[in-house]
Every structure is written in C-alpha cells, then in structure tokens.
Amino acid sequence: MVWCSSTSGRLDRRAGVVARGFALALMAVSLGGCDTLSNLWGPKDDKVFDEPADKLYNEGLYLLNSKHDAKTAVKRFEEVDRQHPYSEWARKSLVMSAYAYYQIGSYDEAITAGKRFLQLHPGSPDAAYAQYLIGASYFDRIRDISRDQDVTDKAITTLDEVVRKYPTSEYAVAARKKIDVARDQLAGKEMLVGRYYMDRRDFTGAINRFKLVVTRYQTTRHVEEALLRLTEAYLSLGIVGEAQTSAAVLGHNFPDSRWYKDAYALVREKGLEPSENSGSWISLAFRRFSMR
C-alpha cells in the first residue's frame, strides 16, 4: 500500500503512484587562483542543507513503486523523519518505512517502525494500517507446526487489535482472515502433540490436547478429527460415556464427516451407540459455541 502527496493521505497498497520528476543539482565549487591553497587547506564548511520533505518523500515513493530499490526507499523515508521530524511528511514517511520494510521481508524493522508510529500518532487515520502491518509481519513469520508457535500467538494478538480497535477499517477483514489461518495453525500444533501422546498410549495427555482444540479452536478444520480422537482415547481408558458423547456431538455437528464414520465404527465395535450426555464438557463446549 502506498501514499501520494496529492491524496488525502489514505493508503492504498494496490494503487500505483507515479512520483513527480526531480533534478539533482551539482554544486560547482570555484577555486580562485591565489585562493587555491587557502581553500584547499583552510577551514571547510561541512554544513549539509536540508532537502525539502516532499522531495525526499516522493523520491522514496518512486523507488518503492517502481521496484527499483526498496532499501534505498526506506532511507529516503527515514531521512524525512531525520530532517523534518515534526512535519506531516514525517508522519507519512514513518508508516511508509514500515510498509517498505515489510515488502522486503525485514519484519523486525517493520514491527519497530509500526510500533513507533502508533506511539507517536495513536489517533492518526493510518493507525489501523500501522497496526495491521505489525500483525502481518508476525503472520508472515509463522513457522511449520512442528516448530515453536510463539510468533503465531503474537500474530493473533496484534491482528486482533486491528479488529477490536478499528472494526470498520478496510484492514479488519484482512486481519480476520489471517487470524483464522493462525488459529488453524495453533489447532494443528495441538493435534500434532495429541497424536504423539496417542502413539505412546498416553491417553490422558492426548485428551488434554484434543480438549484444547474442541474448546479453543472449534471453528478450525481440526475439530472434527479432535472429536474422533477423543472417542478413541476415552474408549481406550474405558470412559464409555464420554466416548459416546464425543461421537454423538461429532455426528450431530458434522454428519457427513469421514471422521464421524470412523468414530461411529469405533463405538459400534464396543456394542454401543453414539449417545450424548448433556452434562459432558464436550456438550457444554458446543452449546456455548452455538450461543455466541
């Protein structure tokens, strides 16, 4: 998403922006004949004159949009903040720095720039976008379910801030989609650990993991398998009532699921039928969900 100085400041990542042309002037230093040695060896004026904020900003914008050099674009945006720290251009440049860092995969820097923007400009119309960039930076770093999922938790937390604080913003919809994917990732991690316990016949440990999927991640694709595994684990422990309940809840909510067919077969092998106990934690979990 990009900004143009001629707009009202609204970011639009998909819109292409053509930066105005600019000329770089080279200053010629004239050395007089008799003054040559004094100019060469004498005191030197090292003063660097500030460049106009809009010029720096549009140079960065041009570099970013034309795919020339996003890293150099970041330097232009940061130079606006350095030379014109209290200007409107500095505010624009800071959020564009976060976007540019995100584009080149420098996620830590994108997060830092986004957080700084929110600290300095919490009431800005672009605060929603800055918050979204932070969440997206965490989201893009989510690792395989066999690895630690700490960054997944951070992605959900920061993206949820977008939905909670800026529910009508254009970024809330995208944030919700990313949250759903991240929650599915966490559910997948719990299923992986639960299956590990099942393979080692640690049925209590497995039940605890599958229970998390049923109670916390009920909207994910993993909940059907979790109910089947609960049926299997409870039957292995001889807790028949809970096994019947998990199979019944699975059949009631997902009647066409292949996991229900497996759960039904397991229960029937014991000469039982799926039967829901309304006082079971499984029934209560689905009842609470249906009331939301």
Helices 88-103 and 107-120: crossing angle in degrees, nearest 10, is: 160
Residue 226 pLDDT = 98
Conformational region of residue 220, where left means phi above 0, alpha means psi within -120 to 50, and beta covers everything else: beta
Tokens of 75: 């330097």
Given a contact cutoff of 8 angstroms between Cβ atoms, the answer to whether 277 and 239 are in contact is: no
Together in a domain, 253 and 240: yes
Phi, psi for residue 277 in degrees, rounded to 5: -95, 110
Q: 32 lies in a domain?
A: no
Q: 68 lies in a domain?
A: yes
pTM value?
0.77
Distances, alpha carbon 155 to alpha carbons 98, 136, 199, 249, 267, in Å: 16, 7, 31, 31, 39
Torsion sign over Cα 212, 218, 222, 223 = positive
Residue 71 pLDDT = 85
- CA atoms in the 13 A half-sphere facing the CB of 282: 29
- The residues facing 2 across adjacent strands are 12
Together in a domain, 213 and 259: yes
Number of domains in the chain: 2
What is the DSSP-derived secondary structure letter of residue 218? T
Together in a domain, 179 and 195: no
Together in a domain, 180 and 200: no
Q: In the chain, which residues have pLDDT < 70?
A: 1-49, 67-68, 289-292
Together in a domain, 235 and 179: no
Please name the residue ranges forming H helices in the chain.
36-41, 53-65, 70-83, 88-103, 107-120, 127-139, 150-165, 171-199, 203-216, 223-237, 240-253, 258-269, 281-290
Residue 65 pLDDT = 84
Residue 49 host element (H or E): none
Domain span at residue 257?
186-290
Given a contact cutoff of 8 angstroms between Cβ atoms, the answer to whether 275 and 242 are in contact is: no
Q: 2 lies in a domain?
A: no
Q: Which residue has the tokens 């829901």?
A: 276
Nearest CA to 248 out of 268, 263, 233 is that of: 263
Residue 34 pLDDT = 37
Together in a domain, 234 and 257: yes
